[in-house]
Amino acid sequence: MKLLIYSWLHEFTLNDIINTFNKIAVQFDLITLDLFKKDKSNCQELYDKVYNKLSSCGYDAVFSVNYFPDVAKACFAKNTRYISWTYDCPLDIENISDTISLPTNRAFFFDKEQYLEYDNTNNTVYHFPLAVNPLRSQVKYSSDYSSDISFVGRIYHSSFPALTKYMNEFNKGYLKGLIESQKNVYGTYLVKDALSESYLKDLNKDLKDHNCPFTLGEKSVSLKQIAYSLATEATFENRLMCLGLLSIYLDLKWYTTPDSETLNNIKKYPPVDYDKEMPIVFKSSKINLHIGLHAIPSGISLRQLDIMSCGGFLLSSFQPELFDFFIPGEDFDFFSSPEEALDKAKFYISNESVREKIVRSGTEKTNSIFSYEERIPKLLSLAME
């Protein structure tokens, strides 16, 4: 098999995937185009780059981390299979439904709810969990990164506060109520389910009447954009509540970007490198806290798998698909509120033998079921059927 790999240069997982391709003797060429600050939904330069490469060389398929409509269109034009494996949820791409059903697509999504969103009439969309590199479990404990509990992640800064400046009091109150409801519920994208097209029409009229810059001229705010804004605001508030409470009672280290909020009791540290430093943090922390993004309703995130794979103890907000593979209290544990997170963190910090038994079980299961060498051959087999 020979693949053409497209890289947008900011993928966490691509190095591990390429190393696995080398191990299982998959040939490939690599093309790159940085789309980080470009329109991922419509990029003629990307289409031309893929189309021209397919015209000059023969490939069995094109592969990318995350899904890109212009790659899909170029592959369809050249009758070449397009394999994408997405770790973002939701994808920052509008109008995916315009291309996702192209018959040359084989699009793999880690979140089951995201997968179910898309029309699968042509069997072009699959649910497929993410993977890990078991070699990271070989990192050593370091006192430089040790703590009772650590959190690796940023605070999501939502567009919601800016939008409220252009809303009437009813819409402000209604949407703030949805955020409050979502804050206390994991395992469902509540804010998205609660928004109707008729309400969205009224909201856009309200925003236009107040001269909102997001709705100038023919522009409008989509249901997907509003839902994500509410979900990130709920996540922002949830993370601050949880981190603030735990930092009062525990030695908590927070590895984050400089623009994240400052809380009185929290020790803030710079972001850690995914490949080199992050595994050491996971290994050296007694508890690794995961406070999920509310816009990921069901799937096991890459961060959750990485924590367990690296030999870390995972204490996570509720995520339904974790329970398809792992047993709480045996492989990891979860919480439903900041208070429950604090109670469980205190228990596991005080009970080292219980904690270490869970770490061993979680690490062994993760590296057995979710290794790239286990997952990628299955993905390629499904994609090339």
Maximum Cα interatomic distance, the chain, rounded to a whole number of Å: 63
Angle at Cα 225 formed by Cα 108 and Cα 129, nearest 5°? 20
Helix axes 338-350, 223-249, angle to 10 degrees: 40
Domain 2-131+372-383 falls in which CATH fold?
Answer: Rossmann fold (3.40.50)
Angle at Cα 47 formed by Cα 42 and Cα 52, nearest 5°? 170
Exposure string of 188-223, with b = 16+ CB inside 10 Å and e = fewer, is: ebbbbebbeeeebeebbebbbeeebeebeeeebbee
Nearest Cα residue to 151 out of 296, 248, 271: 271
**What confidence score (pLDDT) does residue 369 get?**
97
How far is residue 211 from each of residues 162, 200, 205, 206, 351, measured CA to CA in Å? 13, 16, 10, 9, 57
Helix (H, G, I), strand (E, B) or coil at 253: strand
Q: For residues 149 and 287, is the Cβ–Cβ distance under 8 A?
A: yes
**What confidence score (pLDDT) does residue 157 get?**
82
**What confidence score (pLDDT) does residue 251 get?**
94
- Residues 244 and 351: their CA atoms lie apart, in Å, by 23
Residue ranges of the chain assigned to CATH 3.40.50.2000: 136-369
Query: E strands, 100-169, where?
Result: 105-109, 125-127, 147-152
**What confidence score (pLDDT) does residue 1 get?**
94
- 285-290 vs 314-317, strand pairing mode: parallel
How many helices (H) and strands (E) the chain has is answered by 15, 12
Domain 136-369 falls in which CATH fold?
Answer: Rossmann fold (3.40.50)
Give pLDDT < 50 ranges for the chain.
none
**What confidence score (pLDDT) does residue 119 get?**
75
pTM over 0.85: yes
